[in-house]
């Protein structure tokens, strides 16, 4: 009897050597009201044997195909390597996918095509760009029953262009290959907090289908809790989720907006002023935010930039703060009333992430509640500290002494700026 090479995706004996795409599908299993197609996985051991044994391995593989798959079904064969669909890069579209396979011979041929795509020119160019060794690739294979598609498409759990908490759905009639191969313009739907903020005027996709896709994607988002894009198929009765990957393009996404800064830092800011004042202001803001949420992986210079001498806040960096407490990434603009439109405005409700921060929040608000008492004590000390600096520093003093004095002055000014922001906050 041939050694077992092919496993159902929910098989308790399924090894870990299956690649990221298969692991992402496994994470969808068990989510309420979520369906994935009947799926089998060929771990990357088979690919390694193919590399070393070549055609001598094909008879054993064919025996496994015949043991696990039915000749009357139609299948799709997809890659599932150890390096694609990872949190740091996706390799989307670079490895081979073969659809609408009707017989055992074509299944075997499709598996080999997926394996051989590891050595394609496009993959090698991408590996070179990422400084990855081609020898590190281990290729698993996914085999899925094709779902007869009435409608299909993709869904982004966060807006891939802005990083905001909007669900974007694209759909076409029939198979999703029409999106990329036939050049068909998809219907596009955009939802914020469960409400449509954009939908097509003349859609080929019934709104009830879009509503069903949206509802199920919200269940997925609650479980996965990171920005993902998913491929889906609707067969006329149910939605099936075919693939899922993290949206790696959103990492370190910087989106600059002046909707807030035009009020708090108005007018033109010339380079000399910018080089001194803005880093001070940004670092003080960071100190205040870190009191609430803990250490942030943000540098002061990342919070704001100057475009044509005017200040723009980096909403991607500020969004990290709100994401850390389970709020939408555009939460600051919403709180200040400058987020565009009110339709679909998310409610600020307590959640698990907020509960974990309760001790910090209590300390923060208690500290700010006593600000008047604090400033009465600190203000004379800060004034005395600033008066120690000469208005006419010695230009011939040793360089190290001048640098030390400048750093001391910056530290004192940082405290002044922090107290000023704290006063505005309270």
Helix (H) / strand (E) containing 230: strand 228-234
Which pTM does this prediction carry? Answer: 0.65
pLDDT at 211: 94
C-alpha of 60 from chain center: 41
B/e letters for 345-357, b = 16+ CB within 10 Å, e = fewer, are ebeeeeeeeeeeb
Instruction: Give pLDDT, residue 329.
Output: 57
CATH number attached to the domain at 1-146:
3.30.1490.20
Rounded Cα distance between 123 and 327, Å, is 38
Torsion of CA 256, 259, 261, 263, to 10 degrees: 170
Tens digit of pLDDT per residue, the chain (426 long)?
468 889 999 998 899 899 889 999 999 998 888 999 999 999 988 988 888 887 888 999 999 999 999 989 999 999 998 876 554 555 566 788 899 999 999 999 999 999 888 877 777 776 777 666 667 788 899 999 999 999 999 999 887 766 667 889 999 998 877 555 555 778 899 988 788 988 888 888 999 999 999 999 988 988 887 888 899 999 999 999 999 988 765 555 566 666 555 555 666 676 666 777 777 878 888 888 788 777 877 777 777 777 666 777 776 666 666 666 666 555 555 544 444 444 444 555 556 666 777 787 788 777 778 778 878 888 888 888 888 887 777 778 888 888 888 888 878 888 887 777 777 666
**Which pLDDT score is estimated for 337?**
47
What DSSP character marks residue 115? H
User: What pLDDT was estimated at residue 95?
Assistant: 81
pLDDT of 332 reads 52
The three-class DSSP label of residue 359 is: helix
Burial 199-238 (b: 16+ CB within 10 A, else e): eeeeeebeeebbebbbebbeebbeebeebbbbbbbbeeee
| Cα(265)–Cα(274) distance, integer angstroms | 11
- The confidence score (pLDDT) of residue 301 equals 72
Read off the tokens for 144: 């899925």
| pLDDT (0 to 100) of residue 336 | 45
Question: Does the domain at residues 147-249 carry the CATH identifier 1.25.40.80?
Answer: no
pLDDT recorded at residue 157: 85
Task: Give SS3 for 243.
Answer: strand
Chain-centroid distance of CA 141 in Å reads 25
What pLDDT is recorded for position 132? Answer: 67
């Amino acid at each position: 009897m041939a050694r077992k090479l092919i496993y159902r995706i929910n098989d308790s004996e399924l090894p870990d050597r299956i690649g990221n795409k298969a692991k992402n599908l496994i994470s969808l299993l068990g989510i309420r009201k979520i369906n994935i197609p009947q799926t089998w996985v060929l771990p990357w051991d088979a690919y390694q044997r193919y590399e070393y044994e070549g055609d001598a391995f094909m008879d054993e593989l064919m025996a496994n195909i015949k043991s696990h798959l039915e000749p009357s079904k139609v299948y799709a064969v997809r890659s599932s390597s150890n390096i694609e669909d990872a949190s740091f890069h996706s390799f989307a579209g670079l490895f081979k996918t073969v659809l609408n396979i009707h017989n055992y011979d074509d299944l075997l041929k499709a598996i080999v095509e997926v394996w051989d795509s590891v050595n394609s020119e496009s993959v090698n160019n991408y590996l070179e760009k990422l400084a990855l060794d081609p020898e590190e690739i281990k290729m698993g294979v996914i085999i899925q029953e094709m779902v007869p598609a009435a409608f299909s498409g993709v869904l982004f759990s966060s807006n891939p262009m802005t990083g905001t908490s909007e669900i974007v759905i694209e759909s076409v009639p029939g198979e999703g290959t029409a999106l990329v191969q036939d050049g068909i313009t998809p219907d596009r739907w955009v939802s914020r907090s469960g409400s449509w903020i954009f939908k097509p005027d003349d859609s080929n996709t019934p709104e009830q289908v879009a509503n069903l896709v949206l509802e199920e994607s919200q269940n997925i988002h609650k479980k996965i809790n990171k920005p993902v894009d998913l491929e889906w198929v609707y067969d006329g009765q149910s939605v099936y989720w075919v693939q899922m990957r993290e949206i790696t393009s959103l990492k370190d996404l910087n989106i600059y907006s002046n909707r807030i800064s035009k009020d708090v830092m108005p007018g033109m800011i010339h380079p000399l002023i910018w080089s001194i004042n803005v880093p001070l202001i940004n670092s003080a803001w960071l100190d205040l935010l870190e009191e609430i949420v803990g250490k942030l992986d943000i540098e002061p210079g990342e919070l704001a930039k100057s475009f044509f001498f005017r200040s723009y806040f980096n909403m991607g960096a500020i969004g990290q703060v709100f994401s850390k407490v389970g709020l939408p990434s555009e939460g600051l603009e919403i709180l200040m009333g400058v987020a565009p439109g009110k339709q679909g405005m998310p409610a600020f409700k307590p959640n698990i992430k907020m509960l974990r921060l309760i001790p910090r929040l209590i300390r923060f608000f208690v500290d700010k509640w006593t600000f008047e008492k604090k400033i009465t004590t600190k203000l004379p000390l800060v004034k005395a500290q600033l008066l120690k600096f000469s208005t006419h520093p010695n230009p011939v003093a040793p360089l190290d002494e001048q640098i030390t004095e400048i750093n001391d002055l910056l530290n004192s000014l940082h405290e002044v700026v922090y107290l000023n922001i704290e006063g505005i906050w309270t």
